[in-house]
Amino acid sequence: MKTIDIHAHVVPESLWKAIDAKKDWHGFRHEPGEGLGAMVGGGMRTGFTSPKVRYSVAERLKDMDAQKVDVQVLSIHTPFVGYHLEAAQGLAMAREVNDEIGATVRGSAGRLAGLATLPVQDVKSAIGELERAVTKLGLKGASLDTQVNGEQWDEPKFLPFFKAAEQMKAVLFYHPQPQYNFLMQRIKRHGLSNSLGVILDDAIVVGVLICGGVLEKCPDLKVCIAHGGGPACYAMGRLDRNWHDRPATRSTPQPPGAYQKRFYYDTVVPSEEALRFLLDRVGADRVVLGSDWPFVLWHPSPVAWVQSLKSLTPEEKEKILWKNLAALLDIR
């Protein structure tokens, strides 16, 4: 059985080359320290929590073999999306990263696919770069943060971007920045900004895209949410109740729950029970394999975990492990 992993991060080789040359990288500067040190930029300090972020392509492929993953879909490590940059600088960074991902994919003999990073702080530039990435570089879509410099994705200015992505049949993969969510301001103890804040951001972008009417206006838009969408599906009944009980807040013709099966969700969830609940809510056609490579430790692998789950049928496992993504991303 073939296996495809939609959630696998990459730190660009150009960043490591800049570090080795003791130069800044698109407004980020390196701070030496434990392990690989940290990068500082955009008001954030990002430490590298896994040595695998500097793996060569050959080392990545060897690790994929060990995890029984046939294809990884590469997306930039989210702290480096560069939304804080001035528009021209953001476009220059995105083009450099996307050129590198495209070349890596083309040289992988089918083992890797890729998602672009985009300068969404400037919508026109983002649309142009998405088109270049899809039509010229062969990438499958784009990886996006769950917000843009504090702006939410239902702002009217982003609608042309969604319309363009829909027309291109590009997949949009939403993944929040682990170091930048509202829990960082509220509480910095106990690691809650990562363990809880990240998945709350996943749920928020689900709510924003549904309640903001993006899915209603773009019915063929292809969107996948990381980490199983966080608690979004668990909370959908509350969103529906609000829609029914408070008509003044409605911005869609149908209640939010009517749209939840329009997303895809990955399997980076905390337990078999959570995955079973997700499957029961959205159906096996909407759940896809994810690993969050290399930041989540799987024992022994994300593939083996899904295969071991007794509450999943063989047909569900087959859809999750490869069939859904093969169709969504046109991977043969």
pLDDT in tens, 212-231: 999 999 999 999 999 999 99
Three-state secondary-structure class, residue 230: coil
pLDDT, mean of residues 127-132: 98
Q: Which domain holds residue 133?
A: 4-329
Alpha helices (H) along the chain: 13-20, 57-66, 87-106, 123-135, 159-168, 182-186, 192, 198-211, 214-217, 232-245, 272-282, 302-308, 314-318, 324-329
pLDDT in tens, 10-35: 999 999 999 999 999 999 999 998 89
Which residues have a Cβ under 8 Å from the Cβ of 157 and sit 6 or more positions away? 123
* 142: phi then psi, degrees, rounded to nearest 5: -145, 150
pLDDT in tens, 161-178: 999 999 999 999 999 988
CB 80 within 8 A of CB 11: yes
Q: Is the peptide bond before 270 cis (omega within 30 degrees of 0)?
A: no
pLDDT at 179 over 80: no
Residue 238: the pLDDT is 97
Residue 180: the pLDDT is 76
pLDDT in tens, 226-268: 999 999 999 999 999 999 999 999 999 999 999 999 999 999 9
Q: Which residue's entry shows tokens 């294809």?
A: 71
Query: Which of these ranges, 81-85, 189-193, 266-270, 325-329, has the smallest mean pLDDT?
Result: 189-193
Query: Residue 54's domain is classified under what CATH number?
Result: 3.20.20.140
Counting the structural domains of the chain, the total is 1
Residue 1: the pLDDT is 66
132: exposed, middle or buried (C-beta count within 10 Å: 0-12, 13-18, 19+)? Answer: middle
Q: Which residue's entry shows tokens 């980020």?
A: 28
Residue 139: the pLDDT is 98
pLDDT in tens, 79-109: 999 999 999 999 999 999 999 999 999 999 9
Which residues have a Cβ under 8 Å from the Cβ of 273 and sit 6 or more positions away? none
